[in-house]
Every structure is written in structure tokens, then in C-alpha cells.
Amino acid sequence: MNFEKYPFEKLNELLTDILPNDNYELSVLTIGEPKFETPHFIQEKLKETSSSLRKYPSTIGEPFLRESMINFVQNRFNVSLEMNQIVPTFGTREVLFNFPQFALFDKKNPVMAFTNPFYQIYEGAAIASRAEVIHIDLTKENHFKAILSDEELKRCDLVILNFPNNPTSASMSKEELGLWVKKALEFDFILVNDECYSEIYFDEENKPASLLEASIFVGNTDFKNVLVMNSISKRSSAPGLRSGFIAGDAKILKEYLQYRTYVGCASPVPLQEAAAVAWNDQEHVMEFRKIYKKNFEIAHELLGITIPESTFYIWLKVDDEIEFTKNLYKEKNIKVLPGSFLGRNGLGKGYVRIALVENEEKTRESLKRLKDFIDG
């Protein structure tokens, strides 16, 4: 299999011979990893339950974990799920990679579509599935929203959307997502939305919609052909817990669960215990949202950027993303990610992605350096 280098490996190669300005402390604004301590109540639960390491974890996950995830979906999206409509996963990266291989295995000439620019695991899954790829190009002209023609959709076996979007920060409404559900039913393809940024939002009256909500909105109440994936990593500042889920169409999930028994990605029971208390709690998530909102207010103040509806990324327009990245590192000791490393066919060119995942003090200092660099 011929996989592309990961964006961060490309970045390391790009910057390898550059000596950064050591008058500044290194500021890494590249990776979407929250830099905040995992809340203590989650850590304590992990410690308290460490004795259950003596148990083999089950593939389906403990009932208390699935119940906590179902509670999250109910409380956040007002969507009621049954136990057979949700499967815990080891974060979302592994399921985004292996689910397409499961879903496309029996297809003679599989076709997979996904948003572009993208989280590179989508492309890796397509390569591993020997699938033809149709890119759903997200551009300034289409407001970074997902659009494909009927002719393209007729050919698709699997479509992966990612809203709220990484890296563009775009969102799609329940009504817009509902149109995709209708197309999934009309042309009989599996539709997935990667929703791992759904909880990083800044307006309680305008929260990001789930594809599950959209499915119910258009009358597809049993979620036929519709699945969502979500993760605890961003919402709880706990990427090390590796707790995610895939939820929706029970018929697909029943077959996928059997497949998972061979994958060997069951989460250790103490991690399930800690994840369950995190999924069940909303207050700590609200506190993290306040931090991210403040970071964007700083970015608006210093850089004039429009505060997005959700995610913690700035998709910053620049003249030449490669030269910008190199010179910013050299002059200000700041690392950002060239947008072209995240896209194909020219998508992402002329942009850099900036992750606002530090505290207020570090964010202000880094963005002030960035502003000084931009102002020349």
C-alpha cells in the first residue's frame, strides 16, 4: 500500500534545515491536541478502577460505557438511541480507518468520497480499501460546505463528511445535512459524519447539528444508511483515553460489530470507566469551551479573524503557505501547518491551519508574534 506521508512528517521535513529564532520560545500551533490537563474527576476514576485491568475487555464495551454515550447523544442532540445503535470505539481514528475497509470489502469497484482538505486517515482508509476517491472540494466559493453532483453521488458506496470541519472550521446546518441524508437513501450509499469537533462551539443558541438529528428531521428515524462518529478527545481534553463511538444504522452496526471482534481494538476497562464519567458530565466541557472562545476573541482582536461557529482552528489565508510556514518558524519560532499538506488537487493552497489549543496567556503571546510577522 502506498500511503502519503502524514502532514506532520511533511512539516518536519520542510523545517528540518531551518534554524529558528531562539529569542522566542517554540510555539507549536499545528496539532489538534488540547494542551489542558484532563479534569481530575476523570483521572481519579481511572485510578480507582485500575484493578479491573485483570479483565479482558469485551469488543462491544461495558454496558455502562454505552449507556453514558447514549446519554450524551440524548442530552446534546435530543436523539434517543438503542443499545444496538451504538458501538464504542478506540477513539475515532481507528474506526475511520477500518470501517471503510469493512463497508467496501464486498464492492467490486468501490468508490469512496470525502471532504477535501481532510483528516488524512480518510485517504488512508480509501487506499487500504482499494477504493476510487471522489473529493468533495471545500472552497471559499462554496463557503467550505459539502456539495457533490447527483452523477457523482450515484457512483458512491461510502461518503465521509466532517462537520464541524477540520481544517476550515465550517459548519453545516441540520437542513443542509438533511439533504445529504436524502441523497444517501436515494442513491443507497453509506453516509458518515465525523463529528469529533461537535462540542467545541461558542453559541448555545447555534450549536452544531448532528447527522443523526438531520436524519430524523427528514423522516429517516431508523437512521438507514446513516452513521456518525464522535470522540471524547477534544471535548474533555482527554485524547489519551481513546474513547469514541460510531452510532446510527443498527443493521450496519450489527455486521460491523462482528468484524470488530477480529480487529482487537477493545478499550481496557479502566479507560472505559474513566470515559463513562466524562461522557456523562457536561460542566467540564463548558469550561473548556470558555477557554476556546476566549482564544478566538484574542485572535479576532489581534488578527481580525471571524470567530467560527465551532472547532478550535483558524484557516488563515496567506499568499504562499509554504514560504509563510518556513519564514514564520525562522523569524518567530512558531510552527503552523501548510494547508496544502491537508488537501489534494490544489485544495488548501494559500492557507495555513492554526490550532488554538493553548491557554489564554500562551495564545495571546503566540498570536501577537504572528501578527508582528504578518505586519512585517
Letter for the amino acid at 11?
L
Taking CA atoms, 28 is separated from 8, 32, 358, in Å, by 11, 10, 9
pLDDT in tens, 209-244: 999 999 999 999 999 999 999 999 999 999 999 999
Helices (H), 188-246: 211-217
Residue type, 371: K
Closest CA to 278 of 68, 85, 33: 68
| pLDDT the model gives residue 188 | 98
Does 7-37+284-375 match 52-281 in CATH topology? no
Whether 2 shows a pLDDT value over 90: the answer reads no
Distances (CA, A) of 325 to 300, 303, 319, 330, 348: 21, 17, 11, 9, 13
Q: In this predicted structure, what is the pLDDT of residue 54?
A: 95
Domain ranges of the chain: 7-37+284-375, 52-281
Q: Closest Cα to residue 338, out of 355, 321, 354?
A: 321
Q: For residue 330, name the pLDDT band (cuts at 50, 70, 90).
A: very high
Angle at 146 between CA 144 and CA 147, to 5 degrees: 115
Residue indicated by cell numbers 465521509: 160
Percent of the chain predicted with pLDDT > 90: 98
Residues 22/324/340/163 CA torsion (nearest 10 deg): 80
Instruction: Return the CATH number of 52-281, one of 3.40.630.30, 3.30.300.130, 3.40.50.720, 3.40.640.10.
Output: 3.40.640.10
Give which of 236, 245, 157 is closest to 200, Cα–Cα. Answer: 236
- What is the percent of the chain where pLDDT is above 70? 100
Query: Could you tell me whether strands 226-231 and 334-335 are parallel, antiparallel, or unpaired per DSSP bridges?
Result: unpaired
pLDDT digits (tens, 9 = 90+) for 286-304: 999 999 999 999 999 999 9
Please check whether residue 157 is in contact with residue 109, taking contact to mean a CB–CB distance below 8 angstroms.
no
Helices (H), 264-320: 269-280, 283-303
pLDDT of residue 1: 79
Length of the chain: 376
CA angle in degrees (0–180, nearest 5) for 204-207-208:
165
CATH 2.120.10.70 holds for 7-37+284-375: no
Q: How does the average pLDDT of the chain come out, rounded?
A: 97
